[in-house]
Chain A
């Protein structure tokens, strides 16, 4: 069965530092992968998505993610974190032909001033 693992429950970084959030998936075919962000008390906002082609995808708010098939990973990165990036981040994969998203359990990002 398809699954998504986000191994880090919490991550704390200093403002201005770089960030990498990990995501691993289990899926037999070509995955369709997403990163969403959820600010406190808010709904989910799409950051970026990967369907095919270039394995490095750019998203909103200066985020990027790299698809690595050999490692079954889709890690999210940002070169310099801003205090407003403090939020919870979710990785997700589409179950092919079912239009259903499978989510990871999320990583909460805290930003130190």
Chain B
């Protein structure tokens, strides 16, 4: 258990509405990530953060924004949800406090989002 919680765990919303997903960690890890999981695609990185107010884009960032005002929380926002954003969203943390490619990522339980 990496001390990661995600909320909500399930959400159904309508096209065009804003949605915010929350990832919360209890260990003050520096690196946090948001992925989406879709059949046939595995997990794809949306955005990641390497510190408070420090974020960067992943491979599928269009239509998503993130914020990190506190170390423990990493928020993913869909400004205007579309049906193509129906997916399972996973948050992950990297426990290392230093820059190293060898560190392992640990994943939260996921949020299932359905956009009607």
Contacts and interface: CB of A to CB of B under 8 A. Distances in A.
The answer to whether A and B come from one shared complex is yes
A4 B32 CA distance: 22
Nearest to A1: B59
Interface residues of B, number: 26
Interface of B: 31, 33, 40-45, 48, 50, 58, 90, 92, 94, 99-110
Contacts, number: 58
Given A4-B42, A101-B105, 9 more contacts: A32-B102, A42-B110, A43-B90, A49-B104, A97-B99, A99-B50, A100-B33, A103-B42, A105-B42
A100 B58 contact: yes
Contact of A43 (B40, B99, B100, B110): B110
Contacts of A105: 40-42
Q: How large is the interface on A (under 10, 10 to 19, 20 to 34, 35 or more residues)?
A: 20 to 34
Given A100-B58, A103-B42, A44 B90 contact: yes
Contacts of B42: 4, 6, 90, 92, 103-106
Interface of A: 4, 6, 9, 32, 34, 36, 42-46, 49, 51, 90, 92, 94-101, 103-106
